[in-house]
Amino acid sequence: MANDIDLHLGRRLRRRRRLLGLTQQQLASAVGIRFQQIQKYECGANRISAARLWQLSEALEISIGYFYDGITEAQARKEREPIVAETRPGEVMARKETMDLIRAYYQLGERPRRRLLDLAKSLNNEPAL
């Protein structure tokens, strides 16, 4: 059973890997492990050792502190309000769907981007059926 810290580290790992556009296989190869291990780290099923965290931070070109950023706030928030993690803005940005949407959006020209944004805003304001 994963604890909150393992889950937080896994989310941060996934977020950074996706921001760099790396696959689990590419990251795993960079640190000399199998991609299944990256999957386990990202979902919090396996704990990340200090040595492995160092290797991952080197491969992802970040400091080890990156993995722990926001952990005290996340713990405090969890104690105050039982919110589903996927509804938090940081978690939404870590989703593959979000990153795919952002990449596709910025591949459009300026006018189609503006029209797509207007469409999305109008859909949000429509009354529910």
User: 4-81 — its CATH code?
Assistant: 1.10.260.40
**Which pLDDT band, with edges at 50, 70 and 90, does 123 fall under?**
confident
**Which pLDDT band, with edges at 50, 70 and 90, does 122 fall under?**
confident
The two structure tokens encoding residue 35: 């991609």
Taking residues 91-116, report their average pLDDT: 84
Give the start-to-end residue ranges of the domains of the chain. 4-81, 95-129
Instruction: Tell whether pTM > 0.75.
Output: no
Whole-angstrom distance, CA of residue 20 vs CA of residue 57? 13
- What's the mean pLDDT when you consider all of the chain? 85
Amino acid in position 114: R
- Helix residue spans in 33-109 (DSSP H): 35-43, 50-59, 65-68, 71-80, 89-94, 96-107
Q: What are the residues whose beta carbons fall under 8 Å from the beta carbon of 78, sequence distance 6 or more?
A: 4
For the stretch 51-69, pLDDT in tens is: 999 999 999 999 999 999 9
**Which pLDDT band, with edges at 50, 70 and 90, does 120 fall under?**
confident
**Which pLDDT band, with edges at 50, 70 and 90, does 119 fall under?**
confident
pLDDT score of 16: 96
Q: Which residue has the higher pLDDT, 101 or 92?
A: 101
Report yes or no: 8 and 71 within 8 Å, Cβ to Cβ. Answer: yes
